[in-house]
Structure 1
Amino acid sequence: MSQTPPVSQSRHPRATFSAGPQRQAIALILVHNDPALEFQREEASGSRVYVNQISEALAKLGWQVDVFTRKTNPDDPTIVQHSPHHRTIRLVAGPQEFIPRDRLLEHMPAFVEAFRKFQTKDGFHYPLVHTHYWLAGWVGLQLKQESNIQLVHTYHSLAAVKYAGMAQKPLVADHRMAVERHTLVGANCIVATSPQEQETLRELVATPGNVQVIPGGTDLDVFHQMSRSDARAQLGLSPSENVVLHVGRFDPRKGIETLVRACAQIKQMDTLAGEPLRLLLVGAADDAESLAERDRIQSLVAELGLNAVTEFVGQVGHDRLPLYYTAADVCVVPSQFEPFGLVALEAMACGTPVVASDVGGLKFAVVPEETGLLVAPQDVDGFAGAIARILSDDLWAHRLRRQASLRVQQNFSWSAVAARLSDLYRRLLAQSLTGDLLSVPMAPTTAAALSSLPAEPLEQPLVNVS
């Protein structure tokens, strides 16, 4: 998505919830990853894509969509107008510079105050706020305490999964886990992107709370089937190579080590003996953690004798990413957990079979034997066998490609996702006006669930509410 020219801030009449020509204003909040930037540091890019795409699709359905994020550069415009009814608003909360997300919580009170001031100055009232990722969830709970808003939240990732089995957790871990529990109990509705994420929320976060499953989507204008030979020619890849692709940031939880070890096994398999193999690792590494992981993977590649067949591609823009998906014989998603699995859907939209971990939303995105294969996470032998099975059976792989693309077209367009979200928003707003309940009972927002959220969030851990 290209950045559109910014426009100056202007005052607007207060929006009202009506069927007339005046649009209802809603706020989407993504604090840590500016949706208006063409590229951002390798942090939560999936959530940025989600917010970008769903905002534009909701605007087309008749909403006035304002997306709020934290300003990270004093030279950036305060407001970016993407389309007539979709804009990004950058609020000053802490230093106007990049701050790693694990160090942003202390600036969230300032973000809340900046949001309040914007509403007052700009004349907008947002009766519904949809927050994304746990930091925005903290903001949303504060706003809900102060005014009668309908709060919707999407997690995008969960601390209970991310920190499971981690020997050294970051200082913010306890705060994050508590905020995520508070959000599940205190929000009017949680949007889970797969039935598996809904199940994980119930098992690991909290039992109370209203959870609705609305999957994420894929930009079918960008990700679609095209000529594989043309894609390979543009990328300088040989038509005869077996191309294995991974797309994602360098993070131990992404399971890249499993893929590399699986490729080392594939090189030795009799069924593929003599056939050239190419491993493409697409994704940036631009912070200390991801740089360390990339260096570790590079050392492993050298140790396993895969230097000649492995390419560390780096960051690739959405204008060229479909070429990599299309050129690949198989896209591998060996993550230890994915709440949704956007990479799997993008690959499938391009007609590329997927071999993925049998976890989280990947179990929802990939249909075994029809659009790809699922393997237990960290199972090197299992991944090697699944990848080799697709590479060695051209007829079956062709069928997988056709079925993968069809599944995404029928189930995961952003317009379809936006239509379901729009219906949810309208039911929530109607409930706020009439007091009627949704068909699924809403979670009560108890004072006890919210009162322990501290004004100074880093001074002491939050209280468990599960």
Structure 2
Amino acid sequence: MRISVLSLHTSPVAQPGQGDAGGMNVYVDQSVRALAAAGHRVDVFTADPGGLDGTGAGAGTTLEITESITLHHLPVGAATKDELADAIDELAELLTVHPDFRAADLIWTHYWISAEAALRARDIAADFDTDSGSGPADALGPGRAVRAPIAVSMHTIGAVKNRDSETSHERPQRLDAEGRIAAQADLLVAATPAERRDLVTELHADPDSVVVARPGVDHALYAPDAQADARERLGFAANEAIILYVGRMQFIKGTDVAVDALAELRERNPHLASRTRGILLGAASGAGVEAGGGAVRPSSAYLRELTAAIGNEPSVEVRPPVPSRILVDYYRAADVLIVPSRSESFGLVAAEAAASGLPAIASAVGGLPEIVEHGHSGLLIADHNPHHWATAIETLLEDTQLRTELAGHAVDRAERFDWARTVAAVLDAVPDISGASSRKSDALGA
């Protein structure tokens, strides 16, 4: 089967942990490879405005990732994700005339920008293919993409982010679009039963159109190994207590909670704090961060406060994001992973860490309870009070036996996450191609 995968706002080959690159990039990269391993031909489309993929490939270029996977970079002049969201009509037109997109038997989109662009492109192609007049499709001939089912992985839902963070930061454009997408897509892919509930309750999706396909972990890479060896490779002392945070530094990810918890630990247990190092492995992200990511910069109120908090806490060290082959050593070297997200559809970092033998202290939100079973493979915290997080950190650092037991159970629990099963669940749920275009997205062009 020929499959078009859309990851328009961020390239799957970009380094996770900076700009708009995160767990979704890993998801797209690994699921695409699983599709190729299953014998499918995959065309990946991006219009990443961040320039973070490190390939040197620019707009309008293609990159052969493997013999079965091609990355196409659409030539759109957007410099930010918001600008890209305002260029959805242009993205749809570019997709409509792209022969590899039109050849697709299935279109799998990631994030709302990609989903809306694909739905608009299918409608444009359908109109051109049935129109007796001239149009971009005339030179290409009828395309299978006119009939191809569109599967959508939201990854995050704007209404859920606002709900969980008790804010109204998400753009009305996004909130409106996601409701339309839920009504028009042929298949909605949820990472967990919790996300499925959110799609149905928050976006009023038809329950029959939603499939749960848990994300996977690359178990060939993320596996336990000697902590001492990993610490030696990373330059950590054998007697240090290492608390690890991995990901973009932004309010929704709760970076401030991690820093404040370590400061609280210093207040309550100075002796333990004196040998504890908090490693923040990631870069600034979100409002006010320039394209290209980078270290934390005081370019928004949140980042200014976060920068000051980091500067005032001597145990905290910020390190840039690293490739997965190095990231696994951080998981193996650390004592505890901290995942204080305010909203999280899944939490791929927690799953990777678990597979590597690192237990997590995580927020009891979204998909994280799917990964962290409280008291068995890690600890869950029901709020973002730094006092409660410091208590959990102190408990695990002072109880080596408990930490070891949690680590073993975490490895066992992570075995359920497998990319081959992820893509199989999606493909098995795809509607029959003959009826896929019945949910025409006539409202999307409004």
TM-score w.r.t. length of structure 1: 0.81
- Structure 1 match to 2:403: 397
In the TM superposition, 1:48-197 aligns within 5 A as 48-70=25-47, 76=58, 78-93=61-76, 95=77, 99-119=79-99, 125-145=103-123, 146=126, 147-164=146-163, 169=169, 173-197=171-195
Partner of residue 211, structure 1: 210
Distance 1:71 1:360 in 2: 27
1:160-309 equivalences in 2 (<5 Å): 160-164=159-163, 169=169, 173-208=171-206, 210-269=209-268, 273=272, 276-285=275-284, 288-289=288-289, 291-292=297-298, 293-303=302-312, 306-307=313-314, 309=315
Query: What does residue range 380-459 of structure 1 map to in structure 2 within 5 Å?
Result: 380-408=386-414, 410-425=415-430, 428=431, 431-433=432-434, 446=439, 450-454=441-445
> Residues 296 and 270 from structure 1, CA distance in 2 versus in 1: closer, same or farther, beyond 3 angstroms?
closer
Q: 2:297, 2:307 within 8 Å by CA — same for their partners in 1? A: no
Cα distance change, pair 406–195 in 1 and its aligned pair in 2 (3 A): same
What do you get for the CA RMSD once the two structures are aligned?
Answer: 2.5
**Identity of counterpart residues, as a percentage?**
28
SS at match of 1:281: strand
More displaced 10-residue stretch of structure 1: 205-214 or 277-286: 205-214
- Which amino acid in structure 2 is aligned with residue 82 of structure 1? I
Determine helix, strand or coil for the equivalent of 1:68: strand
CA 1:295–1:346: 2 relative to 1, 3 Å: farther
Q: Deviations over 1:3-61 (max 9, x none)?
A: xxxxxxxxxxxxxxxxxxxxx10111011112244579520422111111101111110
Which sections of structure 2, spanning at least 5 residues, go unmatched?
127-145, 290-295
Q: 1:232–1:295: structure 2 CA closer, same or farther, 3 Å change rule?
A: farther
The count of corresponding residues between Structure 1 and Structure 2 is 407
1:337-416 residue pairs with structure 2 within 5 A? 337-408=343-414, 410-416=415-421
- Residue identity opposite 1:221 in structure 2: A
- Using the TM superposition, give the Cα deviation of residue 143 of structure 1 relative to its aligned residue in structure 2, in angstroms: 3.1
Q: Check conservation: 2:242, 2:334, Cα contact below 8 A.
A: yes
Could you tell me how far apart the structure 2 residues matched to 1:278 and 1:37 are? Answer: 28
- Alignment partner of 2:222: what SS? coil
Check conservation: 1:36, 1:88, Cα contact below 8 A: no
Q: In structure 1, what is the Cα distance between the partners aligned to 2:48 and 2:101?
A: 21
Q: TM-score if structure 2 supplies the norm length?
A: 0.84
Cα displacement string for residues 293-351 of structure 1 (whole angstroms, at most 9, x for unaligned residues): 44422311344xx22x2111122222211111111110000000100101111111110
Q: Deviations over 1:50-74 (max 9, x none)?
A: 1111011111101111111126579
CA distance, structure 2, for counterparts of residue 60 and residue 278 of structure 1 = 40
Which amino acid is the alignment partner of residue 103 of structure 1? Answer: E
Deviation at 1:212, TM superposition (A): 0.8
Structure-2 separation of matches of 1:69 and 1:59: 18
> Partner of 1:451: helix, strand, or coil?
coil
CA 159–315 in structure 1, closer or farther in 2 if over 3 Å, else same: same
